[in-house]
Structure 1
Amino acid sequence: MDDPVLLPKLKLTAPELPPFLADYAAIAKKMPNWAVRAALMSQYPRHLYNYLRFDSASEESLRNLSTMLVDSNLYLNDPADFNDPFEFKNRLVLDDDEVLKHFFSVVHSVTHPNDTRSPSARDALIEELVAKVKTAPEQIFGVLFETHSHGVHCFTPEPKSQLMWSHYADSHRGICLQFRTSYDVPTFLAAGAVDYCDDFPDFHIPTAPQADTVAMMMRKGTSWSYEKERRIAMLAINSRLLSFEPRALTGLILGSRFPKKHLPAIQQMLAKRFDRGLPKVQLYQAEAQDTAYRLSVRKLESMPLNSGAISGVIPWDSIYER
């Protein structure tokens, strides 16, 4: 079967897991599968979901879906590309003068090792820098707030959110992917709950602790709280791709307005996944209810796979249970 038109694939190294997640993964391997699931389910949603736009005529849409559905990779986005202009905002908190002076002294000695100025002249320069950082800290420490080296992947535990179907899935014409969290403990354990608060998190300078950076990546205003978002947020990544266990991707929900003309492209990708020997992905259909402002999600019967092709779509017959 011919591959769909996709952008060239790159061989990239996935970012390393934080040490505490790596330790958890090692422990999890020694535990019975039921014990791992029980421990995870006690504090995490059973499923997490990704809403996506989908247009079979768009290379970007095909690539985005293929990355997860066929290649089993999550894409770690630059927070600067998100739709919230307040992403990565903070409230600068200056450390005390002695810390600032020590910081600039070290920086100056490293950047100007052959400085011939007298100690008093160097001290005067340091005092000047401390004064400047108090009036315009962003001019000196702006590099700390650049996001291009960080990566975020967003999920929600809500597959029937009308607003998210509208905002992220092309007004219900897109799709939503379902992930079973207990099928990939180390990856989805990293999906922390977003902190919804209308105050910016503190960012201490010049010490700039890693916890402050993480707090910026994990906080949003309360107007976004309906999303119940969970994020995998990674710092100083060397790849935008993070691999996950293929069986963790368990479902694909078609939006209530999903155009039938795009079905062949979905079928082709499912067939490609089948040809690679990857686990089955269950199909669902979102529907607008007739008597209330709510969505229902119904299961579609399995579509038979023959020689790497899909034939016949059987109508759904049961309501999807989350």
Structure 2
Amino acid sequence: MNSLEENVGDSYPSHFFKYTPIEGWLPSLLCGDSLLFSSRLSFNDPFDSRPGFKVTLETKEGRTFMQSKLRSRTQLKPAQRIMHLRRLEQLQKRQTTDSNEGVNTLLDSAGILSLATSWENPLLWAHYAKHHKGICIGFHSNIGIFRLAHKINYEEMMPILRRPQDTPQQMLDKTFLTKSKCWEYENEWRIIKPKQTQYEKDVTFSTNEELKRLMLDCNGPGIYKFDKDSIESVTIGMRTPKEDEDFVKETMKNLGNHVPLYKIEALGMTYELRRKLIGVY
């Protein structure tokens, strides 16, 4: 999930796009100071990043895992330990999202940036850009953190975390890079920033200096800086109020990034969108 070498070739998009409302923090975003990585706790889809959970008792590793869970509860009375064991056995039989606290802590503490691959998706404008009243920011995919994006897999079946076999990396992949088939129209890509200890930051990507530099600020959900030169375009929605449009234009003029500014227009008697160049600011 963290190899630059994986993100090359014809299948990797040339640009990524972020649909967003127009808010007071826009200047901070356009100057590279404010890119929000969200927790899965804030997602609008209640199933997003909520995989099933299954403990495998049939393997040696599974039995060891169960025994360690019981040892961690030595303060329980014998009858309580038996009840706890039965609960764990039931957890193994049904594929449930009620995973243990350690797994939930790992997954809750990861930051996620969701990206699209086009600016002309009407549903994305409606869902994420304030009903076509917001903007869509384009990014070069070959600059900085945008080189670390990974494509979402859309599946009919919910992914299952298998303990104890799955590594933390496998759990992150299954959790954040798989969504229900009904969301396939989004064609989403994601950048993941799991919260890492200082030791993990010191040893991760030790053979790839560029990746190590990009991932040193892996601190989970929150605001991150990014290379402002990665901004490729800004597109205003077709319903954006004039005062908001003027705010975007004035912000871009003040920053002087020399980025094209477009406005969405309807294309004749079709459902297609087109964008008209307003200027370069």
1:167 to 120, 123, 127: 127
**What CA distance in whole angstroms lies between the structure 1 residues aligned with 2:158 and 2:262?**
39
Aligned-partner SS, 1:83: coil
The structural deviation recorded for 1:67 is: 4.0
Please tell me whether residue 263 in structure 1 is matched to residue 237 in structure 2: no
2:163 aligned residue (198, 205, 221): 205
Q: Match for residue 218 of structure 1? A: 177
Name the SS for the 1:297 alignment partner. Answer: strand
Conserved 8 A contact 1:252-1:284: yes
Aligned 1:141-180 pairs, distance under 5 A: 141-146=100-105, 147-180=107-140
Q: How much has 1:100 moved relative to structure 2?
A: 3.6
Rounded Cα–Cα distance in structure 1 between residues aligned with 2:153 and 2:80: 40
The count of corresponding residues between Structure 1 and Structure 2 is: 250
Task: Name the residue aligned to 1:70.
Answer: 31
**Stretches (4+) displaced over 6 A:** 124-127
Deviations 1:245-295 (A, max 9, x none): 211111100011111111332234224423xxxx32210111011221110
For residues 82 and 109 of structure 1, what CA distance do their matches in structure 2 show? Answer: 36
Label 1:109 to 1:222 Cα distance change in 2 as closer, same or farther (>3 A).
closer
Aligned match of 1:244:
226
Alpha carbons 1:41, 1:182 under 8 Å: kept: no
Pair 1:134–1:293, CA change in 2 (3 A): same
Residue identity in the other structure for 2:241: P
**Which secondary structure does the structure 2 equivalent of 1:300 belong to?**
strand
Q: Distance in 2 between matches of 1:41 and 1:282?
A: 26
**In the alignment, structure 1 residue 193 sits paired with structure 2 residue 151:** yes
Aligned counterparts of 2:228 and 2:9: Cα–Cα separation in 1: 19
Aligned twin of 1:87: 48
Is contact 1:133-1:140 (8 Å) kept?
A: no
Do the aligned residues in 1 keep the contact of 2:73 with 2:81 (CA within 8 Å)?
no
Please list every run of 5 or more consecutive structure 1 residues that lacks an aligned counterpart in the other structure: 1-17, 26-38, 55-60, 304-322
Rg bigger for which structure?
1
TM-score by length of 1: 0.68
Q: Cα RMSD (Å) of the superposition?
A: 2.9
- Report the alpha carbon displacement of residue 191 of structure 1 after superposing the two structures with TM: 1.0
Residue of structure 1 equivalent to 2:64: 102
- TM-score, normalised relative to structure 2: 0.77
Distance in 2 (CA, whole Å) between partners of 1:129 and 1:99 is 19
